[in-house]
Amino acid sequence: MPEILSMKSLRTAVKNGSIDTVITAFPDMQGRLMGKRFHAQFFVDNAWEETHCCNYLLATDLEMTTVEGYQSTSWSAGYGDYVMRPDLDTLCVLPWLDATALVLCDLLDHHTHELVPHAPRTILKQQLKRAADHGLVMMAATELEFFVFRETFEAIRDADYRTMTTISPYNEDYHIFQTTKEESLMRQIRNGLSGAGITVENTKGEADAGQAEINVHYADALRMGDVHVMVKNAVKEIAFLNDRAITFLAKWHHDYAGSSSHIHQSLRGAHGKAVFFDPAQPHGMSKMMQSYLAGLLTYADDTTYFLAPYVNSYKRFKAGTFAPTKAIWSIDNRTAGYRVVAENSQNIRVECRVGGSDLNPYLALASQLAAGLKGIEENLTLEAEFTGDAYQADAARSIPASLRDATIALDQSKMLRAAMGDAVIDHYVRAARWEQEDFDSKVTDYEVRRGFERA
């Protein structure tokens, strides 16, 4: 494990010239890194305590459109500033960028210096505090899948996203020979992230041509959220530097598999005790784990938007593709939306398989924790385990089929409104509705190809 970069070691690196740039960044609503590049000397002299950004950055869509209808900021309110406060515990070197370090920031109100309540990192911190009040710590790992293409981002964009070639011609799931062909890129990703202080377990081929997966080590949930956004940004940057393109779109083509971000999660108590494990209970699932999982299932509709935030996200939920269609639980069964992993061991945990690679990890982790804690607080009883092929379970609880359905569930969620606050939920309901409104106003290639001559 590389040494964590402290302010003392950063000052030394700036003095000897090995670091000349410091990126200060925060995760936006979409989970992207937004911020500034500082000359390193100015950062260590001045900006290490705080800097500023426009508050529209938590009220935009993927296109950076200034969307109307947010209560937190608007043209009429003048689009003022937020304070960006570096979290020095996240300070690290980025080996793939010359002489560059990165620090993640929390967002504060410019006037009160209170945490901005609808900032994704704040939302997760709020739920982690709720867990801490119960004497609990959330542990998690978010797997990430993505597709790699032979062309550059620029070439694909210039071709209007109509012609791109996956880096392999066939399904490469666990395929060593094919992934050897990709190793010049994947090795840089693994080693680069390791050099940034992230414990990378492995990369592997996934279940379609050109699809890859990266797995990082289990950690506390806030660290995992930070790692997730750093990994996504790093993979894009390293691909760009190697004249390749990648996508984390949940479903980039209807003929290809979707890309997921499975969320492994468990709780620990005092002194790191694994409170999900009880050898006296079926499968080693403690009463607390059973109630937590019951909460995830009871409030599965409520949390779906935070796992699938775009119209495209719902194209991934298709039978026979390893993406779930049913919000049910099962032991080591990849057809279920919630899979219990490592039964009868200290490592027993829940894997939520609903989320796509397009999710915001802070929002996804926060909503999972909120639902699980509610299950514990209500002492919910876990329904019977599902066995068999969940795709064929017509009567089982379905995952919402569209962004519209998930938005209604989010808006009507008493659980999430109590856990996160009305203002936070209203903010993301507006984001969800805007995604749908914007999509509904556009004419798609499908409509033109299908109906231009024949309609």
pLDDT digits (tens, 9 = 90+) for 245-271: 999 999 999 999 999 999 999 999 978
* 80 in Cβ contact with 111 (< 8 Å): no
* 315 and 390 together in one domain: yes
* 85 and 191 together in one domain: no
Dist. CA 32–CA 233, nearest whole Å: 7
* 378 and 338 together in one domain: yes
* 88 and 124 together in one domain: no
pLDDT digits (tens, 9 = 90+) for 151-180: 999 999 999 999 899 999 999 999 999 999
Per the structure, the complete domain to which residue 171 belongs is given by 144-259
Asked if residue 2 is part of any domain, the answer here is no
* 413 and 270 together in one domain: yes
Closest listed residue to residue 94, CA positions, set 194, 9, 227, 25: 194
Dist. CA 356–CA 306, nearest whole Å: 10
DSSP 394: T
Q: How far is CA 401 from CA 234, 260, 304, 305, in A?
A: 32, 16, 10, 11
* 412 and 287 together in one domain: yes
pTM of the model: 0.97
* 444 and 386 together in one domain: yes
Q: Which amino acid is at 181?
A: K
DSSP 72: S
pLDDT at position 1: 45
What CATH number is associated with residue 343?
3.30.590.10
- Tokens matching residue 139: 């542990």
pLDDT at position 2: 54
* 285 and 245 together in one domain: no
Below-70 pLDDT ranges, the chain: 1-3
The β-bridge partners of 51 are 84
